[in-house]
A = this chain, B = another copy of it.
Amino acid sequence: MGAKLNLDKLDLQIISEMMEDAQISYADLGKKLFVSGGTIHVRIKKLQEHGIVKGTKLNVDLKALGYDITAFVGIFLEKSSLYDTVAKDLRKIPEIVRLNYTTGNYSMFIEVVCKDINQLRFVLHDALQKIKGIERTETFISLDESFNRKVEVVQDVA
């Protein structure tokens, strides 16, 4: 971590490729980007040392595992000073996978992933309502996810 770091085009190309497929071998990725596998290795090591690359994660089809339902919930707080304590309580609910403190209409914004409508109802009506400091909530259930991708880190993609 830390220190200033200049990333060149090769670094960004490596990140871009591996954001989609982290299993590609250094040799193959080197071929694709016209450098040796050793160079890929050195660059990735540098990116890891600087905390830009933090590891790899398994890409799991949550729908296939039965997690069919995604909902977004805007939360109004009684007082915005309650953010920290409410955040702590929200973190304890495993179905809540993301929490953001936001400008605009809502004080905070969460994403909920569930296996069925009953589980979602439980989270929204039982779990959330038990938390002190939440004034009210507005729920948006996702009927379809058109896309969910990573931001482009290089302009001219391979």
Contacts and interface: CB of A to CB of B under 8 A. Distances in A.
Interface of A: 7, 15, 18-23, 50-62, 64-65, 67, 70, 72, 74, 87, 90-91, 94-95, 97-106, 109, 113, 138-153
Contacts of A113: 151
Given A101-B146, A103-B141, 5 more contacts: A21-B56, A22-B22, A56-B58, A74-B140, A103-B140
Contacts of A50: 64
Given A56-B57, A138-B104, A152 B22 contact: no
Contacts of A140: 74, 100, 102-106, 109
A97 B43 CA distance: 26
A41 to B, nearest CB: 14
7 contacts: A18-B57, A22-B56, A22-B58, A53-B59, A53-B60, A95-B151, A98-B147
A99 B140 CA distance: 13
